[in-house]
Structure 1
Amino acid sequence: MVIYIDGDACPVTQEIVLLAKERELQVKLIKSYAHYSLQRYDSHVQEIYVDSANEAVDYKILAMVQADDLLITQDYGLASLALQKNCQVIHPKGFQYTQININTLLESRYQSAQIRKQGGRTKGPDPYTDEDRKQFKQVMRDTLS
């Protein structure tokens, strides 16, 4: 198993890196050049930078990820495509994407986009909390067990 991180806006990168190290798993952190960082990681983490074009990170992840790998992403569309490749996918807020919940999540995203297209406003995500981080770490540990 390789752990892939959709890294442009992942609030739990450090937690993933530490949990992966404990289990001697490789991590691939995929980011756009617009999110370049000087931070250096241990040898089990490979940083991969791609063009800053829309969806470039998603395309790179989909080209690399394989069945039974683990992906961490907030992107419902990317999660849906990774599930089709038989990957395990976790949201940074600590829930696992499944074939059962993905359609509901995609429908919600579509409905919100339609409202915005018509000039309406939709509520954005709630702020990331310590409880979200705790929940994520528990789900990640369970997934890696």
Structure 2
Amino acid sequence: MLPFKLWVDADALPKLLRDVIIRASDRYQLEVTFVANQNVGITSSVRINSIQVMSGADQADKEIVDRMQVNDIVITQDIPLAAQVIEKGGVAIHPRGEVYTSANVKARLHLRDFMDTLRGAGVQTGGPPPISERDKREFSSSLDQTIQKQKRKVSV
């Protein structure tokens, strides 16, 4: 097994991406833990685990940050969680394939706060479109590239 793990913020993970993650785990012999405040319906195995946390705001996020280590990879669309992961020395990937960096996560946090302000003022901002097959391919490619990069980084 690889010396880093993959953590999945599974509360809002599109089901379409679960198979991509499990195939990556098989291909790279990578331990994966799905964390959510509900049962995510993942069958545990040698490398695949799931943790169900108490319901409540950010409980899954807190569990991931508490357990993750430097060089671990976290899949999330939660911007504050991505910022914490980066701060702790991990890598965060959005389910649409974008790899968060310290630069783009700050910009995303500002945009998120602005959108919250608009919603608080009653403006209907809508949500993101559903994950498409193209998004799935982008995510799969980004996940593979990130795993390869982390493998090279920890083997040096």
> Could you say which TM-score interval applies, normalised by the shorter chain?
over 0.9
2:34 corresponding residue in structure 1:
29
Q: 1:112 and 1:143, CA in 2 relative to 1: closer, same or farther beyond 3 A?
A: same
1:106 corresponding residue in structure 2:
109
2:153 corresponding residue in structure 1:
none
SS in 1 for 2:103: coil
| RMSD over aligned Cα atoms | 1.1
> 2:42, 2:50 within 8 Å by CA — same for their partners in 1?
no
Q: TM-score, normalised by structure 2?
A: 0.87
> 2:53, 2:59 within 8 Å by CA — same for their partners in 1?
yes
Q: TM-score, normalised by structure 1?
A: 0.94
> What letter matches 1:127 in structure 2?
P
Gaps of 5+ in 1: none
**Higher helix proportion:** 2
**Higher strand proportion:** 1
1:13 corresponding residue in structure 2:
18
Aligned length: 143
Gaps of 5+ in 2: 149-156
> What letter matches 2:31 in structure 1?
Q
1:58-103 alpha-carbon deviations (Å, 9 max, x no partner): 1101100111000000100100111000101100001100012011
Q: Percent identity?
A: 27
Output the CA distance in 2 between the equivalents of 1:125 and 1:23: 31
SS in 2 for 1:97: coil
Poorly superposed stretches of 4+, deviation over 4 Å = none
SS in 1 for 2:56: coil
> 1:5, 1:13 within 8 Å by CA — same for their partners in 2?
no
> 2:75, 2:93 within 8 Å by CA — same for their partners in 1?
yes
**What pairs with 1:1-145 in structure 2 (closer than 5 Å)?**
1-11=4-14, 12-32=17-37, 35-145=38-148
Output the CA distance in 2 between the equivalents of 1:104 and 1:37: 31
- Out of 131-140 and 20-29, give the one that drifted further: 20-29
